[in-house]
Structure 1
Amino acid sequence: MTTGILDYESDAIVQLMSIAEDDWTEKDLKDALQRAIMLEVSTIAPYATALWSITDADSGKPVAQTIRDIIFDEMWHFGLVCNMLTSIGGTVVLTDPATVPKYPGELPGGVNPGLVVYLSGLSRDSAKLFSDIEKPENPLAFAADGNTIGAFYQRIANVFPKYAHLLSGQRQVSTSPGGKREMIEMKTIDDVLRAIRIIQTQGEGTSASPEDPSGGGPSRLAHYYAFKEIAEGRKLVFNDMTRKWEFTGDAVPLPDTSPVAKVPGGGWPRQGDPNSPDQSTAKLLNDFNKEYSDMLRALEQAWAGAPNAISTAIAMMGAMRGSAQQIAGVKLPADPRFRYGPEWLLVQ
């Protein structure tokens, strides 16, 4: 297997999934973990852009709280996979231009082929997109299709024991993103398999229940079903008559939001376009991109032997929230019904 690591837009995960488990090499496992890291990073921008478009001052209301909890979970998953990679001698790569997420675009490695992930404000449509990102192989409420994130993690879980002798516990980060989320240090294969199970069930639930059984976060439903409730506008309930889970419960109202438009590929053109930002708006966009880039650099440093850099990364995430909310307050010149959204571009 000769897939390069630095190729966000490749179909390398599909290629890895086509290799028999017994034929996976140490390099394949490290390659798979790097791609899993890229997958986890790829979800943060669309989820956070939607969350930060909410203008309701009561951030504890159900929909906002649900999205916030899921973002914390995704940050947790990211950290767990980084610990897996460094503990077997791999290096976390986040700031090479080829590794950073591209929006709009498909998920890295060919997962969920045909699904185009974009950045926009919160809406029923964006919530449906998020549920599609998290879709299990066999959802309890809908038919599934395509390669899924959960199936990819299962392949990693099946292969990892073959290379358990490489686990060293080196370059681990133990800082938790919050709540009951335990940042597991990967010292044994049991640590690894427990972490993978948390990632799978928090995203997808189990084959018997849509609930998250991990105990890692305050949300009861796994991510797929939590987002699907927002998309459908109804709570998921078990129908005793049909013996099926159905989205027929109480209404799930959307909070007040700023109507953030879909961010164009490569960001908002700085000139020559009807929606080119003015100087002050361009500065807001550029400041956000710098904060995002600084956060990625701090995360990279944290898993390169400087674990205290995680505090810098967390601080940068707070700065990004404030910048994104300022950006979302600026109307588009060509269509003032909509607002700008942050670009999430890497600044070298």
Structure 2
Amino acid sequence: MSTVLNYRSNAIVELMRTPAEEHDESWLKNALQQAVLLELATLPPYLCGLWSIEDPDREGAVSETIKEIIFDEMSHMGLVCNMLTTIGGAPRMADAALVPKYPGPLPGGVRPELSVSLTGLTKESVDMYSQIERPDDPVVEDAEVRTSIGAFYTQILEAFRKQPQLIKGTKQVIRDMSHHGKGNDVVALASLDDVEAAITIIKEQGEGTAASPDNPFPGQPGELAHFYSFREIFRGQKLILVSSDPQQFDFQGDEIPMPRTSRMGTVPSGGWEQGGVPVSSEVRGLLDTFNQHYSSMLRFLEQAWQADPSSTPSPTQLLNQAVKAMRKLEDPARRLMQIPLPDDSGMAFGPEFRYVEAGG
């Protein structure tokens, strides 16, 4: 089967509706490409929240929690890219039709009731982050979830289990990220066991398990899975075990105060100018700089998983270039968040995460 490559499509829903007996090599390649877009889509909103945190709270607990979740998501995207290349596919993300579009739904029809936007860290944005990560059966705050990320990965794993012969171990990009936690390395996937371990990490770091909110692959002892970490920040209290028989958790622990933040406004569809917001030459320059670095990062990522191991530059060198480009995003983003919007709302600009062609 073929799937239209477009960020705003219903591709994941359609893939999940396809009968399991039709989850062949083509289905798996299409599903993994959508998973790449899905992992990429979580990064911009989380980064905007992180960058909006001001001194001295940049080194505080909330900031560190969001930072570790971002590193987890980066690892997840790398592992999904390795899943795609190990079966002969090639990840695509450096394309205006494929980059995340905000505000709007997640790619492929996942969580269709949820609108994801780019804005600063607030109770409302933390709630949005947690809804992105919400599992099918959380240990607290149970609610009906349509087309969850975890359910999608479960179908991908089942397709791998039925066709382990597709796993060839080709074009695997490796990066040591163990300093960010157990399970965060981007590793080669050359067997079904490797793939199963990678999908387990992706699901349980984000959602925990059916019995526990803990992150089984933490950077620091006591870390919770992403959903529960975000709910703690939203609820303003630590999640603790309140009963052992039966086992029950609730937000009754120590207080978690919200950090001081820049009041970044919500980026309109297509960017500030397209949304009718006048921008100065200073703002335009910062937006252009940010979008160019973001687009370079995507191109380097795409090239890293398309390059042959013996090519020059090598996949590792291309991945290093992507990381360098990502590090260049923070400065223009934080500078934008210090410039008020021209509407007397008290809110500020922020990055757009728009794709521009090289030299554009």
Report if TM-score (shorter chain) is over 0.5. yes
Deviation at 1:86, TM superposition (A): 0.6
Residue identity matched to 2:45: P
Whole-angstrom distance in 2 between the partners of 1:176 and 1:159: 28
Aligned 1:240-251 pairs, distance under 5 A: 240=243, 243-251=247-255
* Of 167, 187, 190, the match for 1:187: 190
Q: Do structure 1's residue 165 and structure 2's residue 165 form an aligned pair?
A: yes
Match of 1:303 in 2: 305
Whole-angstrom distance in 2 between the partners of 1:243 and 1:73: 28
1:36-95 alpha-carbon deviations (Å, 9 max, x no partner): 000000000000011001112353311000000000000000000000101110011011
Deviation at 1:183, TM superposition (A): 1.4
Whole-angstrom distance in 1 between the partners of 2:296 and 2:93: 11
Aligned 1:121-270 pairs, distance under 5 A: 121-144=120-143, 145-177=145-177, 178-180=179-181, 181-215=184-218, 220-240=223-243, 243-269=247-273
Match of 1:112 in 2: 111
> Is the Cα contact below 8 Å between 1:270 and 1:276 reproduced in 2?
no
Q: Could you say if the C-alpha distance between residues 270 and 129 of structure 1 is closer, same or farther in structure 2, counting changes exceeding 3 Å?
A: closer
Whole-angstrom distance in 1 between the partners of 2:300 and 2:294: 10
> Is the Cα contact below 8 Å between 1:45 and 1:119 reproduced in 2?
yes
Match of 2:339 in 1: 330
Q: Could you say if the C-alpha distance between residues 197 and 311 of structure 1 is closer, same or farther in structure 2, counting changes exceeding 3 Å?
A: same
Whole-angstrom distance in 1 between the partners of 2:126 and 2:57: 20
Unaligned runs of 5+ in 1: none
Cα RMSD for the two superposed structures: 1.6
Residue identity matched to 2:266: K
Q: Could you say if the C-alpha distance between residues 21 and 3 of structure 1 is closer, same or farther in structure 2, counting changes exceeding 3 Å?
A: same
Calculate percent identity across the aligned residue pairs: 44
> Is the Cα contact below 8 Å between 1:270 and 1:277 reproduced in 2?
no
Query: Secondary structure of 1:198's match?
Result: helix
> Is the Cα contact below 8 Å between 1:268 and 1:276 reproduced in 2?
yes
Query: Secondary structure of 1:59's match?
Result: helix
Whole-angstrom distance in 2 between the partners of 1:164 and 1:281: 51
Number of aligned positions between the proteins: 345
Whole-angstrom distance in 2 between the partners of 1:219 and 1:204: 15
Unaligned runs of 5+ in 2: 308-313
Deviation at 1:219, TM superposition (A): 6.2
> Is the Cα contact below 8 Å between 2:57 and 2:260 reproduced in 1?
no
Match of 2:16 in 1: 17
Whole-angstrom distance in 2 between the partners of 1:286 and 1:176: 32
> How does the TM-score come out when normalised to structure 1?
0.95
Residue identity matched to 1:287: T
Query: Secondary structure of 2:30's match?
Result: helix
Residue identity matched to 2:109: G
Deviation at 1:344, TM superposition (A): 0.2
Residue identity matched to 2:329: M
> How does the TM-score come out when normalised to structure 2?
0.92
> Is the Cα contact below 8 Å between 2:68 and 2:219 reproduced in 1?
no
